[in-house]
Structure 1
């Protein structure tokens, strides 16, 4: 009986099965192509969750506008556009903040002091006009009420 040896020890001539690096790369590439084609067609947005997101962003923007107006002792404007919320310094028209809304939700109507307008003015004392904000999505319409001192309710 003859045993083959090497410096590291006994050389075994049995063939071990497994995948080559090339085979693994091909499989990973094919999975990447399949996932790349299917994932964009999946819609991860939930209209109800997006509505809740807009309510939180609007409440946060109102709170921030009120706090900044009080802190800086100057009037600020909150612009409620269909797709964005802007916080603007009234004096130099300098933009202080901007928040984009989810693509499935829009601010459809803003009524301030019984007039259809999209700007809320915050006085240096942090008070604003009463306003009604209507937001729309595929799941329906939600009406929010902005109160002069208390904030947002719906």
Structure 2
């Protein structure tokens, strides 16, 4: 004799395990939890942060040079310990700002043999020669900003 129910035949053998739906729910919950926790983990690498600052500085110098040429007006690049600012010289309007990683600072900027933190880009895109020193936990890196060629190190 076979027992039946409204839904169909009753199976007397009890099979244990998880349904596909239960597995999908668990995987979704794990994905949400990992998605919330992984971004908060600090993967800070001082050497990688130093490379990031070098790229940002090279990009800022290139952008300042290009904008000065295009607009035919002088621009200033301010190199603060934790930020890089691009400023219009006439009216001092800020055109761009870039924050540096927390592990890296711009420790000194030497422009025309003077310790100052501002580079002037002429309407022809030329700037003064400058030496920029960047410090992090991994060490010190010195960058050279050349009047026409850009950044080298």
TM-score calculated relative to the size of structure 2: 0.84
Q: Give the number of aligned pairs.
A: 153
What is the CA RMSD across the aligned residues, in angstroms? 3.6
For structure 1, list consecutive stretches of 5 or more residues without a partner in the other structure.
none
Instruction: For residue 19 of structure 1, give the secondary structure of its aligned residue in structure 2.
Output: coil
Q: Deviations over 1:27-80 (max 9, x none)?
A: 899989997999699641111111111101000000000000000001000000
Question: In the superposition, relative to structure 1, how do residues 45 and 12 fare at CA in structure 2: closer, same or farther (>3 Å)?
Answer: same
Counterpart CA distance in 2 for 1:65 and 1:47 is: 27
Q: Deviations over 1:75-111 (max 9, x none)?
A: 0000000001000111121111111111110000000
Question: In the superposition, relative to structure 1, how do residues 86 and 26 fare at CA in structure 2: closer, same or farther (>3 Å)?
Answer: same
Counterpart CA distance in 2 for 1:145 and 1:27 is: 54
Moved over 6 A (4+): 20-41
Counterpart CA distance in 1 for 2:55 and 2:39 is: 27
Counterpart in the other structure of 1:112: 111
Question: In the superposition, relative to structure 1, how do residues 64 and 33 fare at CA in structure 2: closer, same or farther (>3 Å)?
Answer: closer
Counterpart in the other structure of 2:92: 93
Question: In the superposition, relative to structure 1, how do residues 139 and 128 fare at CA in structure 2: closer, same or farther (>3 Å)?
Answer: same
Instruction: For residue 5 of structure 1, give the secondary structure of its aligned residue in structure 2.
Output: coil
Moved more, 58-67 or 5-14: 5-14
TM-score calculated relative to the size of structure 1: 0.83
Question: In the superposition, relative to structure 1, how do residues 41 and 6 fare at CA in structure 2: closer, same or farther (>3 Å)?
Answer: closer
Moved more, 97-106 or 4-13: 4-13
Counterpart CA distance in 2 for 1:5 and 1:70 is: 86
For structure 2, list consecutive stretches of 5 or more residues without a partner in the other structure.
none
Instruction: For residue 110 of structure 1, give the secondary structure of its aligned residue in structure 2.
Output: strand
